Structure 1
């Protein structure tokens, strides 16, 4: 059997074997430096960050209306959540939306697969990680990023809705960032949908009892979240938000 060398994607580059570094670009960016370290390293890093924004904008600018789907990379194809992701991806594609995911395995793969098999546009936005996570085989358009914050910008900029299936810390990070952007009106008419009623209900209860009840958020902030198990309902919510935005922009 052929020996499999370690490999890692770093933006547009692929390195293998001894060339795989001990840290990622994000780790090196966030590491504390000596008093003059930033003078020698960070100005050049800013140019690399700029290039990632330019590359992402250029690659995604011609997408049709799109929806970003998030969920666990650890979900197996036999898991009901994987099947739900497939159904969601297919329903979004049939409604005319491109499907954007993190491009990895699990729920991300499921949503990309559903979109591709339904004839839609399937997009994966990958990220450099300490342990390689390649883009799944159902991605039509894939972009690899070095920096999480650049990738996060692309998830929101080119989407008109955000659907979150069960997942872990990364999924929660993206969920609450999206909610914060909507709450602060950095993005408008941007539905945030949680799919998996049983999984998400304890979190909704905690938000209601530990945040809303003591005034940490406004009662209306809970209205920013929709909860469903039905892919068709998720699509309907997104379509209605799209229609509302269109009417407002046209003065209707």
Structure 2
């Protein structure tokens, strides 16, 4: 266990990858500030993890709420050592661009792209005061390669990759590292939703992956632990791809 009394803020922590990260960082001894729009889910997570965990209902597309989340972490624990911008959604319908709804575009961009910008901005303001910090953005394989019938999600995740690299250049001299994780197809609510919409994809996609299986949320969480640790201390502006070889 590397950490003692460091604080990690995780958005989208009530389920999926965010929940796996919350469990992993708790095991590493972090003080946790967990956010999600799902209050019921957050309460269950808090009851499971116990001490040194506070939760807050946050809509990441609202800057005042994100800023309040950072202030809550500082007020409770004194610092924000690790900020994980994980909250994300997918579109309601997987369709070609000409058929894509404005609502799916606006909603996905608001959470996945603008929400990450807000999370970075609020965390960076605090980290500059501290003189150090570590930001981990959750992008996607869809931010590195084409994702047909999914234009808003692809656009948002490509944006996360670009924002990560740009901000990493700006703050490297300030002792603030900023990296991204790009999961491939991993067990999550988003993947389940896609298979519900198009069940025929489940076996077909798996056969495209050299490992012939989908990723586990715990495997993505392990990558976040590494990025948050001193073992990756010379790494910034990078996108760590965990996809079972699919991008090959």
TM-score scaled by structure 1? Answer: 0.44
TM-score scaled by structure 2? Answer: 0.44
Largest Rg, 1 or 2:
1
